[in-house]
Amino acid sequence: MLRRFQQYIDGAFEDGSASFDSINPANGEPWASMPAAGAEDVERAVQAAHRAFLDPAWAGLTASQRGKLLYKLADLVAANADQLAELETADTGKIIRETRSQIGYVAEYYRYYAGLADKLQGACLPVDKPDMEVFLRREPIGVVAAIVPWNSQLFLSAVKLGPALAAGCTVVLKASEEGPAPLLAFARLVHEAGFPPGVVNIITGFGNDCGRVLTSHPLVSRIAFTGGPETARHIVRNSADNLAYTTLELGGKSPVLVFDDVDVDSVSNAIVAGIFAASGQSCVAGSRLLVQRGVRDQLLAKLVAKAEAIRIGDPQDSATEMGPLATQKQRAHIQHVVAASVDAGAELLTGGAVPPDFEAGYYYRPTILACPNSSIASVTTELFGPVLSVVTFDTEAEAVALANDSVYGLASGVFTRDLARGHRLTRALRAGIVWVNTYRVVSPIVPFGGYGQSGLGREGGLEAMLDYTRTKSVWIRTSDEPIADPFVMR
């Protein structure tokens, strides 16, 4: 029997208009039945969010009261992290020790925004009118359509739900149809925390029947999307119907620059974590290694050895170091690009194949390609998998040029013992995140987002919360004198 999940609309758990089977990436077999929201389901979810936005049960709460609800949700996430992690691992193939660690930290994002709920302030403006007092209010923007992909979905939901709820918005959250189980289960925690009905609605579904209806709905005032550029283009077109304020956190092809003054052992550990963690299925994965010629051979030898030592296995086994890819389609795409890159002159140093004894499921070996130039397909294409493309450089200027030669600009890494160089490169690199002598570190206090086709806007930090509000200008005339007749000349 397949495990059965339900959607969450207007405070109630219910079946969708249709259903679909979710596949366990570790064995390629169905393991759960998921609700597929149709246009009518989306309509009810948005209408519920709109009613809740106006209802005093939510709209009448003080900011401190909203914060207390978020604190309770944070505690529930922390208490249920193990169960949520097991669901995410079953539905996406992400290894259990990663999902446990990440979901445990997700609670900190809700705590951060719970604390910010009553910290937003307006302003008194010193206008040039002596008989006027003018002040600004910050008010919630309205109904939010939040759309997240399957990878790191509880984290990517928290950076949307946290600031939206703290600001007083209501939300329709669409989970990816590729692995929605943990978010559908998370709805139980929202319900238990005591949010009024309709404040948070959680659905999943496909294309036109779900995503298009949601993002073009006239009652949606804000769209927060994480995913791929092609889907983002559809969302931007859809938002022309409602003129919703839209932020997009998209893909990346993040460069890691390694100079020849580094500690090779330390750097090799950071690179392996940056590209092979989560089987490379991270928007900030350090998939482009730019290495200075003097340290190239030594570093590549270390990386190949570490890649070949990675323990591949059952993602639910805490000893496993790398699990499967999330979908068969993604693995096929990676296989095609790797083969094309080798045909174009890239040298396959390791990997590039399905690991022995893992024909079932969607496994792929950690792969390293030494590329003769930056035009090779594996260097330019976001693969969203465990593939590291290596390009050699000689000078700092050449490294910067190679790093910035991309349509993406989400993250970047710099490894050097030269502090002055590190500071220079933080200015020179066109990326929303620059990690120096570290990689793939996050905090709820720090905003993140990209340049170019890596998206628009920022998530995380105070800046994100402001994006879920709009300002209202209030003018108050303080003079007791009668307002003059505008048609009487004086």
Q: Judge whether residue 490 has pLDDT over 80.
A: no
pLDDT at 74: 98
Over its C-alpha atoms, the chain yields an Rg (Å, rounded) of 25
pLDDT at 1: 85
pLDDT at 348: 98
pLDDT at 179: 95
Catalytic residues: 249
Return the half-sphere exposure (C-beta side, CA atoms, 13 A cut-off) of residue 229. 15
Instruction: Kindly give, in sequence order, each residue whose CB lies less than 8 Å from that of residue 415, ignoring residues fewer than 6 positions away.
Output: 256, 257, 258, 259, 262, 267, 270, 436, 437
Spatial separation of the C-alpha atoms in residues 386 and 364, rounded to whole Å: 8
Phi first, then psi, for residue 220 (nearest 5°) are -85, 125
Spatial separation of the C-alpha atoms in residues 238 and 216, rounded to whole Å: 5
Q: What is the mean pLDDT of residues 282-289?
A: 96
Model-level pTM?
A: 0.95
Output the CA–CA distances (angstroms, integers) from residue 77 to 116, 202, 257, 346, in the order listed.
19, 16, 36, 45
Q: Are 113 and 142 in contact (CB under 8 A)?
A: no
Spatial separation of the C-alpha atoms in residues 252 and 71, rounded to whole Å: 32
* Tokens encoding 192: 């238990």
Q: What is the mean pLDDT of residues 274-300?
A: 97
Q: Judge whether residue 409 has pLDDT over 80.
A: yes
Q: What is the mean pLDDT of residues 185-206?
A: 98
> For the chain, which domains are there?
3-250+454-474 (3.40.605.10), 255-436 (3.40.309.10)
Q: Judge whether residue 164 has pLDDT over 90.
A: yes
Instruction: Kindly give, in sequence order, each residue whose CB lies less than 8 Å from that of residue 176, ignoring residues fewer than 6 positions away.
Output: 148, 149, 150, 153, 204, 227
Q: Judge whether residue 489 has pLDDT over 80.
A: no
pLDDT at 359: 86
Q: Are 81 and 103 in contact (CB under 8 A)?
A: yes
What is the average pLDDT score of the chain? Answer: 96
Q: Are 224 and 157 in contact (CB under 8 A)?
A: no
- What count of other Cβ atoms lies within 10 Å of the Cβ of residue 38? 18
* Tokens encoding 94: 């992400």
pLDDT at 207: 87
Share of the chain above pLDDT 70, in %: 100
Q: Are 144 and 221 in contact (CB under 8 A)?
A: yes
> Could you read off the pLDDT of 116-129 as tens digits, one per residue?
999 999 999 999 99
β-strand pairing of 132-140 with 143-147: unpaired
Angle (deg, nearest 10), helices 63-79 and 153-167:
160
Spatial separation of the C-alpha atoms in residues 15 and 1, rounded to whole Å: 17
pLDDT at 299: 98
Spatial separation of the C-alpha atoms in residues 302 and 18, rounded to whole Å: 50
Q: What is the mean pLDDT of residues 282-293?
A: 97
> Could you read off the pLDDT of 340-384 as tens digits, one per residue?
999 999 999 999 999 998 989 999 999 999 999 999 999 999 999
Fill in the amino acid letter for 83: Q
Q: Give the angle subtended at the CA of 351 by the CAs of 350 and 357, to the nearest 5°.
A: 135
Q: What is the mean pLDDT of residues 290-296?
A: 98
